[in-house]
Chain A
Amino acid sequence: MTGALAQSFGGCARLRKLMDLAPTICTQGLTRRFGELVAVDDVNLRVAPGQFFGFLGPNGAGKSTTIKMLTGLLAPSSGRIEILGIDLNARPVEVKRQIGVVPEGMALFGRLTGAEFLSFAGRMYGLDRVTAAKRAAELLDFMQLSDQQKKLVTDYSHGMQKKLALAAAVIHGPKVLFLDEPFEGVDAIAAGTLKSMLQGMIARGATIFLTSHVLEIVERLCSHVGIIHQGRLVAQGSLEELRAGVEAQAPAASGNGAGPSGEKLTLEQLFLRIVGGTHRTEQELSWLG
């Protein structure tokens, strides 16, 4: 079902139009093998400028591997990556200068204070000392971290570290932002701060690529979605296009493209239909209490 679904998305007129635009993120035949395992298999991604792109998939589907390859943290086994039209493999430094990254482990230096870390990050991305210091102060204020001047990053709570990692990723004003599970372990207040900042960036023309397990957040924030399953990209497009695709495949799949009461399918329902997952209701593990 999934292969046919992807094809049907490919045939979508709006998506074709979108693909005609020079994409911000573009991969061709992106593949990554770990020994026998093919973690990412022939992925062809297209993310247009200004899109808020959510990258979804079940556990172990290849989300983190893909984002690591897109940000230069992992070399692909084969395939090509272009960010802003620049070949990542050929000119990695040029690409890295224009992107911001919050990777899985947050990439922080624990023995610096927040201000020192941001100033360091700014200068590593080519800002002069004064600009880096000014932006660091602004970002700390925005993230409500400025009252922790003397605290070392290692002593920050998890949510504070997430905010600081995001601040470091945007200090140089990147055109593209890659976020791996940015809302994981973040409380509602901190999540609100992060969301408003990301939406502000989109409004100013940046492109954001994020992975998340929280489908509600992706549904609320992202204009476009890609779904990876068992290493293969099985769907990509706007939410409407995904719904249209599922509806087109509905007779072959579940016989009904709409939700149980005829309302629009939620992203969670779309996701489950596309990756072929079901909520098990029956108790199969009889030995469990």
Chain B
Amino acid sequence: MTRPEVSVQLTAIAELRWCMFLNGLRSRRGKTELASRIVVTATFTVAGIVGFLLAAVFAWYFVSENNAEYLAFLLWPIFFFWQLFPVMATAFTNNPDSAELLRFPLTYRSYFLIRLAYSYFDPASALGTVGLLGILLGITAARPLLFPWALLVLVTFALFNLVLMQTVFAWLERWLAQRRTREIMGVLFILAMLSFQLIGPMMGRLGRAPHPELSRAAQIAARVQTVLPPGVAASAIAQTAHLQVLRGFASLLFLWAMTLAVGILLHLRLRAQFGGENLSEAAARPAASHSKGLQVGWNLPGFSPSVAAVFEKEMRYLARSGPMLLTLIMPIFMILIFRLGPMSALHHSSSFRRTPDMVLPGAAAYALLILTNLVFNSFGGDASGIQFFYASPVTFRQIVLGKNLTHAAVLVLNTVLAWIAVSYFYGAPHLAVSVATLAGLLFATPLNFTAGNLLSLYAPKKRDFSTFGRQNVSQTTVLASFGVQIVTVGLGIAIFAIARLYQNLWIATLLFLILAAFSIPLYLLVLRRLDGIALQRQETLLTELCRA
């Protein structure tokens, strides 16, 4: 048997992806996904064109003004976008599972190249490349002789980003492979995201008065950035533009060295994967424990035992998900951000007199928003457990009601915590604000749950917690939930604006209650029809959620 060639294997994988794409179009769901993908791609294209033009104009300006080192201001955002977008927006990311590839007789070289090739088809890579092309165009327009050198530097920078992106993915996969490390990672990730959100308000607060420490820190940061990849790439171009060719060449070599170093990290990880590394999910065998007393299930007054059972199951799932638990503090965190940021500045200047009172409705809306993943794909985490629901003598409306009660409980808890936080930071909100917020939730929650329940059945997506860059929510769901949130939040803002216009917040309560008079019956109507819809969608749900 002849040894398979790398190019043949790469072509075979490309053909496989194409066949999978075409076969996916056979179902209605696949066609809907394609439509969503077209919308998403169009959005990315517009973003790409804007980014390209901005990059080109600014690069032209910097180089024309003989300030090519300022190109770092363009390269840093591209770098951050390239590396952070795939991590934060996994719904748009596509990364191969090593197990899918390793069963074939791939050489390590092929495996390495395929991983890199995959990362090039990521939206972040595409948009990053478009941005770099814009910079190249700007530089060339300003100084045509710089074109070959700028091309070489920017290609190196792009390669660095590609390799780093795959390295981040590969190491994240390593940590996500086991439940415990996965949960620790999730918590660290959310903490990192929270810290990022604090930067803006902190900077705003510090910026109001002169802070010598801040300007010293900025000077240090400016120096440090020159030895980091975007700064090095900018220096390489700037030094050559200033006719310091040797220094420019040294900077390029340094960029190559950094790419190589990151490549070695990637190699270490991929080599372990290629060598058949098996990261078992199973925890170490625990010491035999004696039977505890009877663990009697929960009771939920006013609801059937099966609804209580689903409620308990959902709560236990939530309690065992570190990242999900951490999201519960997000609304309070948002209040803290507002306290540090613009709200404190507006405290006395608002025409609404008690502008901080708007923090409570904002936090409540945020609490509803962070439930989106749970509400709009409520069966995603059940995986093959969905078979149990279909085989059990319980109607789907009861199952979904149990799930919605869990979501509502989380929302109520979050709103109460937000109320306490607002009281602590700003003083207790006016009664009118509290009641209007509750009325707003009374309208928005059933509307969200209605859309979420329908999408959970019509566009289910199995949540795969163990691999990175696998879509955990369908793109249809992302777009539809986005639409619902825009409508809900938009109506909320409009209603509060009307109340503000008339200087009477009770108007907001009244309007929300009128809207709730429509959204609650709509929720109940859809809930009653869920049994039929679940039966109609049975095969889709079982196929999507039970697949390996």
Interface positions of A (Cβ within 8 A of B): 71-75, 93-97, 101, 103-112, 115-116, 119-121, 123-130, 132-134, 136-137, 141, 146-152, 154-155, 157, 168
Contact = CB atoms under 8 A, between A and B. Distances in A.
Nearest to B391: A101
B53 to A, nearest CB: 48
8 contacts: A101-B391, A107-B388, A108-B388, A109-B313, A109-B388, A124-B392, A125-B392, A151-B283
B296 A123 contact: no
Given A74-B539, A150-B289, A121 B295 contact: no
Contact of B388 (A97, A115, A121, A149): A121
Contacts of B291: 137, 141, 146, 149
B211 interface: no
A103 B289 contact: no
B393 A125 contact: yes
Given A112-B313, A149-B291, A123 B388 contact: no
Nearest to B539: A74
B33 interface: no
A103 B391 contact: yes
A107 B388 CA distance: 5
B308 A123 contact: yes
A136 B295 CA distance: 9
Nearest to A117: B313
Contacts of A146: 291
Contact of B294 (A110, A116, A133): A133
The range of chain B's interface size is 35 or more
A157 B391 contact: no
Contact of A106 (B384, B535, B542): B384
Contacts of A128: 305
Contacts, number: 130
A93 B299 CA distance: 22
Given A109-B313, A116-B316, A128-B305, A155 B282 contact: yes
B385 A137 contact: no
Contacts of B423: none
A149 B289 CA distance: 7
Interface of B: 179, 281-283, 286, 288-289, 291-292, 294-299, 305-306, 308-310, 312-313, 316-317, 320-321, 381-388, 390-395, 535, 538-539, 542, 546
B179 A107 contact: no
Given A111-B320, A148-B286, A149-B289, A96 B393 contact: yes
Task: Give the interface centre of B308, B381, B383, B390 by most chain A CB atoms within 10 Å.
Answer: B390
A168 B391 CA distance: 12
A161 to B, nearest CB: 10
A124 B309 contact: yes
B393 A74 contact: no
A20 B310 CA distance: 42
A59 to B, nearest CB: 17
Contacts of A151: 283, 286
Given A72-B391, A124-B392, A107 B385 contact: yes
Given A120-B309, A128-B305, A155-B283, A109 B393 contact: no
Given A120-B309, A129-B305, A73 B390 contact: yes
A154 B281 contact: yes
A181 to B, nearest CB: 14
Contacts of A75: 535, 538-539
Given A108-B388, A112-B317, A126-B306, 5 more contacts: A116-B313, A129-B297, A133-B295, A133-B297, A151-B283
Contacts of B310: 124
Which 8 pairs of residues, A with B, have the shortest CB-CB distance? A105-B384, A107-B387, A96-B393, A107-B388, A147-B288, A123-B309, A97-B393, A109-B385
A286 to B, nearest CB: 14
A150 B306 contact: no
A3 B313 CA distance: 49
Contacts of A147: 288-289
Most buried by A among B320, B382, B384, B539: B384
Most chain A CB within 10 A, of B179, B286, B295, is at: B295
A108 B305 contact: no
Given A74-B538, A147-B289, A154 B179 contact: yes
Contacts of A107: 384-388, 391
A124 B286 contact: no
Contacts of A133: 294-297
B292 A96 contact: no
Contact of A134 (B294, B306, B308, B384): B294
Contacts of B305: 123, 126-129
